[in-house]
Amino acid sequence: MKQHIYCSVTLSLAFISGPLFASNTPSQNRLYKEGEILVKYRTENTVLLRSFAVKSMPLGATVSSKLRLLKLQGGKSVEEIVALLRQDPNVEFAEPNYWVRKAVTPNDMRFSDQWAMTNIAATSAWDLQTGSTDIIVAVLDTGVDYNHPDLAPNLWQNSAEANGAVGEDDDANGIVDDVWGVSYKGAIVVGDPLDDDTADSHGTHVSGIVGAVGNNAQGVSGLNWSTRVMAVKILHGPLGLGSMSDIIKGIDYAISNNANVINLSFSIPNYSYALESAIDDADANGVLVVSAAGNSGADLDQSNASPASIKRPNNITVAATTIGDTLSSFSNYGQTTADVGAPGGATSYTVTGILSTMSPIAGHGDYNYIAGTSMAAPHVSGLAALIWSQYPTLDHHQVKARILNSIDAIPELETKTISGGRINAYNALINPDNAAIFHITPSTVTAGDPVTITGANFGATFGATTGTVTLGSTRLQIVSWNLSGKSIVAKVPLCIDSGEVRVNGEGNDFPLTVTDKRCSSGSDGDNDSDSRCFIATAAYGSHLHPKVRALRRFRDEYLLSNTLGQNLVNFYYRISPLLADFIRESPWLKQAAVWALGPIVYGAEKALALSAKPPTRKSDPVPASTTENTKEILLKFKLHVPEDRRQEILKEAGAVIQKLSRIDVYRLGFTDPQSAKKGLKKLSKLPEVDYAEPNWPIRKSQP
């Protein structure tokens, strides 16, 4: 099972960490009754219950004979007692006695057509939180119609420019009059991000999902009735085209102007290390990035799309779902790549799409329906802003954890996303800050090898250095537990099946595939013959030798993935045990076998190194589908390359158009695409170069 969402009148599983407002009078932002807790014991301990409570009342056999309502004593808070109870292994769950209210429905004229808000329980969430103007969501897109009456009050403004002189760069950021945001188009940088997308008003539509003004008796409601949407225009014209260098500058602008969330509703069918660097920079600055999965119907576990395939702890990749809570037919997906589903609809300009704000210049009215993962992403961006409005002290990883841990389980998304479901805004506001796994590296591991688990809330509190990691029902050996509570290294046992990983018994289940399982009757699994790399094991002395592990991984990742390789492996298994017996008995044969295996091991190690990241960093061919703008290259040097050597390489390569700020990436221009391809090939081979890639053209992410 991916995610277990228990439904009861309390609508939650466990206590809410972080600031809560409690009272015996239900009102806005007050979530539970003061001095009351619901607790269910696996084995009831009435002595312990009496130490906490004045009264301990069963709620009736029809609910559960072990479910009790506690009336607290001793002056301790609900949060303190819930925290204590949750540490008891006999407690199935403990939670405040939540108020249950009717859901708030905004009076916006077309809210009844916004099926997406109903699907994600937005009306229940709005009873607790409707957004805050302290939270900034940067929308990197086709711009925003900042004159739209349902958007204007919620748009971010650059106060220095808004209060400054017209025609001057009042904040000295190199951009004149960037009051509403900025527009990047190659060398053209202006402070006017007005949406001019004559095709479908893409950026304005995305912005309305995040933060159209709610409850103002007109149009639609955004997920946040109040917020600040920052317009960063990087896509232009009817097709919504841009370049990777403009995206990087846009992310830099958003970070520099204190954005909390960056929405990226675009996609390229390649892996971009330049974009990866920019997302890493956002992570270092506490910024959450939300990325559309893309609309090719592809499995992202087997193919690449940027930014969706960039597996970083601050990046949330969003697949699209329909009004009937199925995966949209066009949506990309991936069990270890796509984090979560959100409403994206089925068909544009029909009621099966997502209704949101439009710019009249697009010719489709002030409001209309558009479908795509572009529309799914801003639902998650908006939810992140809503969570931050309710819990401003959470960091960006904890916000992501709440989103993943609060889904509605959807059968079709069970094997298509990490979380296994579609977002639920109400659950995200009331559920506790449980452990959440973002990624496991590698996601396919050889038995006996370690894995690195990244996520959030690992441990009861930050600074925890102990806890449990389980694969199925088996505990893994802890190698290291990061003090941040966000990273764990654990070792996979030799004799264990593939399954789902949990940290401290909490959070979303993350799938882990275990290959080369080694078990034998009456043995602990550490038998040389159990690795099945018989000759290599005999030559190097142990199946745990790094060279043997490399051969096993190469076998599992390359040979066993195709029929020819499988036949070769089966043939090897038939002939190798006898040869291994001879090698094991002769020191001379061992040395000869090591010498003979040398080139094979080297080839395997090189192949594994090249596949460690989605594409190679070296001279990727330019796909035929992305031939635009290939006269430019993005290049990043490795750390500590001296400036004089950098300038020497740049001078030999071609003219430097621009050095992009923050992430130290250079944008190089060439006279024609052929020269750019030659330069790319040459630069990629230099040891001083971290990566070189085309300045990929970008398109808005719509089917």
Q: What is the rounded CA–CA span in Å between residue 340 and residue 346?
A: 17
Same fold, 21-98 and 624-700: yes
pLDDT of residue 622: 35
Distant-in-sequence, close-in-space partners of 490: CB < 8 Å, separation ≥ 6: 450, 451, 453, 469, 476, 477, 478, 479
Owner of token pair 């974009």? 275
Contact in structure between 338 and 332 (CB atoms under 8 Å)? yes
Q: What contacts 441, CB < 8 A, 6 or more positions away?
A: 451, 452, 454
What span, in angstroms and rounded, lies between the C-alpha atoms of 44 and 70? 13
Q: CATH classification of 21-98, choosing from 3.30.70.80, 3.30.70.20, 3.90.220.20, 3.30.70.1060?
A: 3.30.70.80
Question: Given 17, 309, 328, 374, which residue is catalytic?
Answer: 374
- What's the CATH number of domain 442-515, 2.40.50.100, 2.60.40.10, 3.40.50.2300, 3.30.360.10? 2.60.40.10
Reported pTM: 0.77
Give pLDDT, residue 410.
94
Closest of 73, 74, 82 to residue 20, by C-alpha: 82
Cis peptide before 442 (omega within 30 of 0): yes
Q: State yes or no: is 56 an active-site residue.
A: no
**Chain centre to alpha carbon of residue 65:** 40
Q: What is the pLDDT of residue 701?
A: 65
**pLDDT of amino acid 569:** 77
Per DSSP, the three-state class of 604 is helix
Q: Catalytic: which of 12, 192, 196, 202?
A: 202
Decide: 313 and 400 in contact? Cβ < 8 Å. Answer: yes
Query: H or E element: which one contains 444?
Result: strand 444-446
Q: Which CATH class is domain 111-430?
A: alpha beta
Exposed e or buried b per residue across 159-180, where buried means at least 16 C-beta atoms within 10 angstroms of its C-beta: eebeebeeeebbeebebbbbbb
Question: Which CATH topology does 624-700 take?
Answer: Alpha-Beta Plaits (3.30.70)
Quick check: 632 and 670 in contact, CB under 8 A? Answer: yes
Domain range summary for the chain, segments of one domain joined by + = 21-98, 111-430, 442-515, 624-700
| Torsion-angle region of 217 (φ positive above 0: left; ψ -120 to 50: alpha; else: beta) | left
Annotated active-site residue 141? The verdict is: yes
> Two tokens at 458?
């690992």
Q: What is the mean pLDDT of each run of 10 residues along the chain (703 residues)?
A: 32 30 42 80 60 57 62 76 78 78 79 96 95 97 95 96 90 92 93 83 96 95 98 90 93 97 93 94 97 95 93 97 97 96 96 95 88 97 98 97 96 94 96 92 87 86 67 90 88 88 85 76 40 77 77 78 76 80 84 88 78 42 44 91 92 84 88 89 91 87 66
Q: Does residue 471 contact residue 496 with C-beta atoms inside 8 Å? A: yes
Q: Angle formed by the axes of helices 202-211 and 373-390, to 10°?
A: 30
The H or E element that residue 513 is part of is strand 506-515
Question: What pLDDT does residue 95 have?
Answer: 83
Q: What angle in degrees, to the nearest 10, is found between the helix axes of 373-390 and 396-405? A: 110
Q: Is 202 a catalytic residue?
A: yes
Residue pair 96/22 in contact by the 8 Å Cβ criterion: yes
Q: How many helices (H) and strands (E) does the chain have?
A: 17, 33
Confidence at residue 2, expressed as pLDDT on a 0 to 100 scale: 38
Q: Token pair for residue 589?
A: 């044969």
At residue 76, the pLDDT reads 72
Which helix (H) or strand (E) segment is 262 a member of?
A: strand 261-264
Cis peptide before 307 (omega within 30 of 0): yes
Active-site hit among 108, 127, 141, 196: 141
Angle at 186 between CA 183 and CA 192, to 5 degrees: 15
